[in-house]
Amino acid sequence: LEKLGWKVLRMSHWKKIEYDKLEDEEKMRMWANELGKSGVSPRM
C-alpha cells in the first residue's frame, strides 16, 4: 500500500485539494477503483 500512497502524493495539487474535500466514503470508493485498475483487490 506504500506505493499507492506515493501515487496519491504525486497527484497534481488541485486534484489533491479535490481529494481532500471528498467524504471518507468517497475516498474508499476511489481507492477501491484505483486498486481494481491495478489488479489488486482492496482489502479493507
How confident is the model at residue 11, as a pLDDT? 64
How confident is the model at residue 10, as a pLDDT? 64
| CB within 8 Å of 28: residues ≥ 6 apart | 44
Give the span between the Cα atoms of 34 and 12, in whole angstroms: 16
How confident is the model at residue 8, as a pLDDT? 63
AA identity, residue 14: W
Indicate if the alpha-carbon torsion angle 38, 39, 43, 44 is positive or negative.
positive
At 1-44, the pLDDT tens digits run 567 666 666 667 667 778 788 888 888 888 888 888 877 665 65
